[in-house]
Structure formats: C-alpha cells, structure tokens
Amino acid sequence: MLVNMKEMLADAAKNNYAVGGFNCSSLESGMAAVRASEETGMPFVLQFAPVHEQYLAMSVAGPLMLQLARAAKTPVAVHLDHGSSVEVCLRALAMGFTSVMFDGSALSYEDNKAATAAVAKTAHALGATIEAELGSMPHNYNGELGNYAPEDFYTKPEDAAEFAGDTGVDALAISFGTVHGIYKTTPKLSFDVIKKVRAATNGLPLVMHGGSGLTDADYREAVSCGIRKVNYYTYGAIAGGRGVYDLVKEKPEGLQFHDIAVRATKAIADDAARVMRVLAGKI
C-alpha cells in the first residue's frame, strides 16, 4: 500500500529498527524490492534518484513506482532520492510521490535551511514527507578522502538541532563516515555522531546514505544509535549482475532476455530481503 514515511519511521523508532531505501533504476529493481518487502513483511521506501535518469526516466519511474507501491501488500513510500533542486522536488510531489529528499548539502548552511523549509512546506501541505541532508557526504570519493579527514564531513549536532527545528523535516540524512558507492578502504564510522545528533534533535529519524558495503554489525550498531532509514543500492545492483553472470554460465546458448530479467530480479530481491532482515534485527 502507498504511504508516506511518517508512520513508517515512527514505528521504526518505537520498535528500534530501520527501513531500507531501495532505488528503482529499472522495472526489475523496483519489483525486486517489493518482493523482498512482501517476503519479509518489512515496510520500505521505494525511491528514485535523478542520477539514474540515464537508465529510466523519472517521468516513467514515477508512475511505475506508484503502481508498484499501491499493489504491494506491505507499506511502501514512494520517495525522491537526492533531489538537488527545489524544482525537481516539486515535480516529484506533483507526480504523486509521497516523500522527497531535498539535498542541499552542497549549499551553505543558511541556503540549505531556507530551501529545505520551502520544500517542507509544500510537501506537508500535500500530505507528503521530507528528508533533508546536513553535513556533506563525500560523493564519488570511493572512500578516498584526499586531504580531508572523515570528521571534516561529520554532521554537527548543534546545527542539526537548529536545522530540524527551523525546517520541520521528517527525517535527516547525516554524515558520520559513510560514502556513496563502493568502499575502497575500510570506512571509519562514528556512531557517536549518530547518538549526539539524535539527542540534539529529540529523536528525529536519522538516515544513513552509503549503506552498501558495511558489515552487519555496522548496520546493527547504527540502528541501535538512531538510524531509521538506510539507503542501499550499489551492492544490490552488483548482486543482480552476479545473478545474470551465473545464468549466462549455466546456459550460454539460447538464453532469452526475459530469463535474464527474471534471474536479475530474483538475485536483487534475495539480497534486499537479507538487508531488510538485518535492519529489522532478525539476522
């Protein structure tokens, strides 16, 4: 069923678990996430990242995701991931997305706050929820931070408290040492940052981006400290690729494309179900 993130995140906080945020970059990845959710009974966030426009246009992904959510037996929020402009957030809300992320992390603190507050007002008027980001998450650094130390990127608890109060966001993505994509070095996570931001924001649901490639123990610790949503994409996409590779080895001749789509969907769904169980504390 189609929902926004409000009750989903409140229930996660009450029962100390996190929901997954799974990106829909193809019909198969969207179907796989729904299958994993129905198999595990876990609600989740089906999200579209504009960076994936090259694989699937948002104009097609939006109606597809909304239909997948409506038809699902479990609660599914349809969310825009990393909306980098107010305009793209408003476009998603107009399409019926039940949630948006405005990512102003590259802006100055004041500009991020003002734009986030504007999007939050519209989102709430439409019954949708909003996630924002504070503290910069290294993009495309692949774990190599150059001259920076991991703590240079951490979210400051005092900023988070003011930002949350002034914008009214429903969830906040914070920076505590994760990076997007594939980790080339062992990530240095500061769980203390999560605890301090959680305390400073009176338990606002916190979001972890760059969820791929961490250990199960890292996930469990992050959840116990206050992470309520974990964005997960890269390793699921790799699981899909591996499933297809195995299929090609099993049947090098006469393979039909629908067989590839079916195998990829199963591999991504199996991986997503495992992640959902870890986030639920069931593994």
Which stretches of the chain bind Zn ion, using CB under 5 A? 209
Shortest distance, position 264 Cβ to Zn ion, whole Å: 23
Shortest distance, position 230 Cβ to Zn ion, whole Å: 10
Residue nearest to Zn ion (CB): 209
In this structure, the number of other CB atoms found within 10 A of the CB of residue 86 comes to: 17
| Nearest by Cα to 20 from 156, 218, 209, 175 | 209
CA distance 223 to 127: 27
CA distance 216 to 235: 13
* Residues 54-85: b if buried by 16+ CB within 10 A, e if exposed: eebebeebbebbbebbeebebbbbbbbbbbbe
Tokens at residue 111, please? 């500009």
> Between 234-250 and 257-279, two packed helices, what is the crossing angle to 10 degrees?
140
Tokens at residue 129, please? 């929820």
Say whether 218 is catalytic. Answer: no
Residue placing its CB nearer to Zn ion in the complex, 49 or 123: 49
Marked catalytic residue, from 11, 81, 270, 271: 81
Residue placing its CB nearer to Zn ion in the complex, 209 or 229: 209
Residue labelled with tokens 């090098």? 252
Provide the annotated active-site residues: 81
